[in-house]
Amino acid sequence: MIRYTLKCDKEHSFDSWFASAAAYEALQARGMVSCTICGSTTVEKALMAPAVRPARKAAAAPAAEAPLSAPQTGIEEAFAAMRQAVEANSDYVGVNFVAEARAMHEGVKPERAIHGEARLDEAKALLDDGIPVMPLPFLPKRSRN
């Protein structure tokens, strides 16, 4: 995996991960790399410093988790607020989401607000069975880098 700092034609700066430099080039050539802020597909690599591994002594000290950048647009602020509301008002059930949703729908477990993870085919099966679900526009905290 390789991380690039990218910049769009509207001067928005953002980071993105790619399987390899060749994967980035292939996606860029097909116009599939877009700005995470405005959606522009006129994107190029920005100047960035290389990631250098610290010395062993420094690596032994526990590193604090680096904070994510502050929201830059109203849309990013809305997504951040949505994430905070979802996490504050529902229980994270992880990969047990499908089983929990079915159990609540069938009356085996009491209803409550939950969020978790499901494969696309599992989510479609829940919908086919009349169990309301919707995808969230963010990954669970444990999956963020």
Per-residue tens of pLDDT for the chain, all 145 residues: 788 889 999 989 888 888 888 988 999 898 889 988 888 899 999 876 666 667 665 555 555 544 556 777 888 888 888 888 998 999 999 899 999 999 999 999 999 999 999 999 999 999 999 999 998 887 777 644 4
pLDDT at 137: 82
Enclosing domain of residue 120: 74-138
Whether 31 and 86 share a structural domain? no
Number of domains in the chain: 2
Co-location of 124 and 78 in the same domain: yes
Contact 2, 16 (CB under 8 A): no
Together in a domain, 30 and 80: no
Phi, psi of 7 (to 5 degrees): -140, 135
**Domain check: are 117 and 78 in the same one?**
yes
In a domain, 9, yes or no: yes
**78 and 35 part of one domain:** no
Cα-based distances in Å from 36 to 3, 73, 75, 111, 123? 15, 11, 10, 36, 26
Q: Helices 120-128 and 97-105, interaxial angle, to 10°? A: 10
Distances from the Cα of 123 to the Cα of 62, 104, 107, 126, angstroms: 38, 15, 19, 5
Contact predicate 1/17, CB 8 Å: yes
3-state secondary structure of 25: helix
